[in-house]
């Protein structure tokens, strides 16, 4: 099992995006055997608490499976600044192909590529 720490910046049902301390983002899905549910994830995201995510990476999934999420205490109550959330969301939406396709760009063109896909 691996572990990453950072801030949960987007929650959708049982999936969430972690802004990792080392830079970048990682997509997770909650484990079915875990103790958290989607409402718990939203509460953690709203609190802007620094968290540690322990996860597994099954071969058949693009996302990692979060087994445990725990708060991380750094010099007191470390919270993500609000400007960081806005910057993260703006960057995520700019790199996400769906908004480009919704405004009319073809899904068969470069509109469907993310920054990571273009780098390969």
56 and 90 in a common domain? no
6 and 51 in a common domain? yes
**Number of domains comprising the chain:** 2
pTM reported for the whole predicted model: 0.60
CA distances 89 to 9, 61, 92, 94, Å, are: 8, 24, 5, 8
- Which of 57-63's residues contact partners 24+ apart within 8 Å by CB, and which partners? 57/2, 61/29, 62/27, 63/15, 63/27, 63/28, 63/29
Measured from the Cβ of residue 7, the count of other Cβ atoms closer than 10 Å reads 23
CATH value at residue 69 = 2.40.50.140
pLDDT by residue for the chain (120 residues), tens only, comes to 899 999 999 999 889 999 998 888 999 999 888 778 888 888 888 888 899 999 988 877 788 999 999 888 765 545 555 555 566 666 666 666 666 666 666 556 665 565 555 555
Query: In terms of residue numbers, what domain contains 114?
Result: 81-120
């Amino acid at each position: 099992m691996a572990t990453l720490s950072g801030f949960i910046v987007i929650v959708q049902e049982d999936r969430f995006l972690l802004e990792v301390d080392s830079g970048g983002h990682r997509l997770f899905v909650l484990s079915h055997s875990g103790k958290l549910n989607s409402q718990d994830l939203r509460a953690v995201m709203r609190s802007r608490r620094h968290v540690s995510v322990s996860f597994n990476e099954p071969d058949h999934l693009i996302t990692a499976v979060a087994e445990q999420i725990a708060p991380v205490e750094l010099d007191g109550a470390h919270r993500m600044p609000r400007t960081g959330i806005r910057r993260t969301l703006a960057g995520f939406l700019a790199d996400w192909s769906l908004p480009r396709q919704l405004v009319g760009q073809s899904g068969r063109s470069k509109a469907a590529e993310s920054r990571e896909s273009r780098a390969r």
